[in-house]
Amino acid sequence: LENVFWIHCLKYRLYDNYLPPHECATHKIVALLHIGVGNLMSLSLPWLHIDTILLDMDGTLLDLRFDNYFKNNDNVSISVFYKNFKNHIELVNSNGYTWINVDKSNVMGVELEGRKSITKNFEFRANLTLVKSQTEFVRNRIEFSDGPKVYIPEDTVKRSMFGQAPYIINTIVSYNSDSLGLIATLSYNRQGRRVVIASANPSVPDVYELPRNMFDFKISKTLGNHFTIHFTMKDILNTP
């Protein structure tokens, strides 16, 4: 083992006001765009015309990581992590679509990643993340009276965290030639089934995004000292 060394890293962080107020709006916009470009593109979402106040999300992160680097620049690492969240934001169908805070959520898992040189110009990178997540979601019935809206609790369900896949696979094969000024990459991505719209109605199921095998290709070529051209193909197989 004289040609390797280990890095041991233990991190503990307590997030106070994990998402500042202005980032709550950003979170909403990003999630909405994700829904729009997926299989739900044809859905017309009847957003609730009510005032929704989103609280800052607080959380705790515990992360233990081991990295192993070789002299030829190959590396492998493994990490285990635990996170818990308060006021996690979810997109919910409750007689219309709105964003709400969920009181309790937690995530735990393991991540494996590595890099391997195949030849002088080719290399392979891979990342595998296995995750177990849980959310305690209180289904509420919204009633309107002469004053503000009132939430009436109906039941509590435990399910996977909104937007969190149970596994994520990423692999990249890349070619790099400094003499040609050329970089080409072929990447593969797959995520497990995840909740994209939660339901506040016991008779209406949650909406899930199913796994997809995504292949992307990108090639870059430098032109002189100041210009670079790129060509990108996303979802080569046009996976449904």
* 12-57 pLDDT, tens digit each: 444 333 333 333 333 333 333 333 333 333 444 444 444 445 555 5
151 beta partners: 142
User: 143 pLDDT exceeds 80?
Assistant: no
Residue with tokens 């030639």: 177
* 182-206 pLDDT, tens digit each: 999 999 999 999 999 998 877 788 9
User: Residue 167's closest CA among 195, 134, 131, 212?
Assistant: 131
At 200 the pLDDT is: 83
At 95 the pLDDT is: 72
Cα-Cα end-to-end distance for the chain: 47
- How would DSSP label each residue in the chain? -TTEEEEEEEEEEEESSSS-HHHHHHHHHHHHHHHHHTTTTT----B--S---PPPPEEEEEEEEEEEEETTS-EEEEEEEEEEEEEEEEEEESSSEEEEEEEEEEEEEEEEEEEEE-SSSEEEEEEEEEEEEEEEEEEEEEEE-SSSEEEEEEEEEEEPPTT--SEEEEEEEEEEETTTTEEEEEEEEEE--EEEEEESSTTSPPEEEPP--EEEEEEEEEETTTEEEEEEE-STT---
Q: 23-37, 79-93, 116-130 — which one is most confidently predicted on average? A: 116-130
User: 88 pLDDT exceeds 90?
Assistant: no
**d(C-alpha 79, C-alpha 111), whole Å:** 5
Backbone phi, psi, residue 220, to 5°? -130, 140
Give the mean pLDDT of the chain: 77
On whether the pTM is more than 0.85, the answer is no
At 231 the pLDDT is: 95
What average pLDDT does range 137-165 have in this prediction?
79
User: 82 pLDDT exceeds 50?
Assistant: yes
Backbone phi, psi, residue 38, to 5°? -95, -155
Q: Cα 72–189–82 angle (5° rounding)?
A: 80
Backbone phi, psi, residue 128, to 5°? -130, 125
